[in-house]
Amino acid sequence: GESVGLHLPTLSVQEGDNSIINCAYSNSASDYFIWYKQESGKGPQFIIDIRSNMDKRQGQRVTVLLNKTVKHLSLQIAATQPGDSAVYFCAEVNSGTYKYIFGTGTRLKVLA
Amino acid sequence: SQTIHQWPATLVQPVGSPLSLECTVEGTSNPNLYWYRQAAGRGLQLLFYSVGIGQISSEVPQNLSASRPQDRQFILSSKKLLLSDSGFYLCAHNGQTGNTIYFGEGSWLTVV
């Protein structure tokens, strides 16, 4: 379900290291998943998506992994940079409903 | 290309006053439209979504309402604001593909 009313967990990572942000989703009927990045005071921006018939998808410096057995999604960012500092949200959707439900969000802090 | 506009960007309103936030989408037709709310430092809560003109689905019973008078226009309203209505309101649409939703820049509402 929706994780609202919860303070955001924070992940602190040294610049240049890899970051792994995790997300647990709730609906086993969800068949499409998206990661968003939200910078302070702005709307969330699309990063990468994955369909439920895949377990891994790679983009530029980012990889999304999907484990449907345990309903878990992760976002890996390679060689984390200061510009990666933001809040990251996962979203799940059952494409038959077009209702997008967001996870709690994780704040990523990149340490110089 | 598709663009989404929200206004006003910031708003300070007294308790008990009405509210109207507007969202318009360009570059696409018959989009699904969404209103989300985000309390400071917290996750995204789905408020309303619409799959067509005059079709509104409400996700959370509350002091707010939504309307879709035109295909690419989505309005969030309240007759009497509460302090708890303060937050960051985000409009989104699902673009041409329908698989991913894209957010506007958000509207900051402070109820005093």
Tell me the two tokens of residue A57: 């998808």
Size of interface A-B (CB pairs under 8 A): 70
Mean pLDDT of A22-45: 93
Interface probe for A, chosen from B36, B100, B109, B110 (most Cβ of A below 10 Å), is: B100
Q: Residue A7: pLDDT band by 50, 70, 90 thresholds?
A: low
Mean pLDDT of A7-25: 93
Neighbours of A52 (CB within 10 A): 16
Question: Residue A71's pLDDT is what?
Answer: 94
Interchain CB distance below 8 Å, B100 and A101: no
Helix (H/G/I), strand (E/B), else coil: B84: helix
Mean pLDDT of A36-51: 94
Chain A partners within 8 Å of B41 (Cβ): 7-8
Question: Residue A4's pLDDT is what?
Answer: 41
Question: What residues contact residue A99 under an 8 Å CB cut-off, 6+ apart?
Answer: A93, B46, B49, B57, B59
Q: Which helix (H) or strand (E) holds B13?
A: strand B10-13
Q: Is pLDDT above 60 for A23?
A: yes
A89: closest chain B residue by CA: B43
Per the CB < 8 A criterion, the answer to whether A23 and A105 are in contact is no
Question: Residue A104's pLDDT is what?
Answer: 84
**What one-character DSSP code corresponds to residue A9?**
P
Helix (H/G/I), strand (E/B), else coil: B83: helix
Is B35 in CB contact (< 8 Å) with chain A?
no
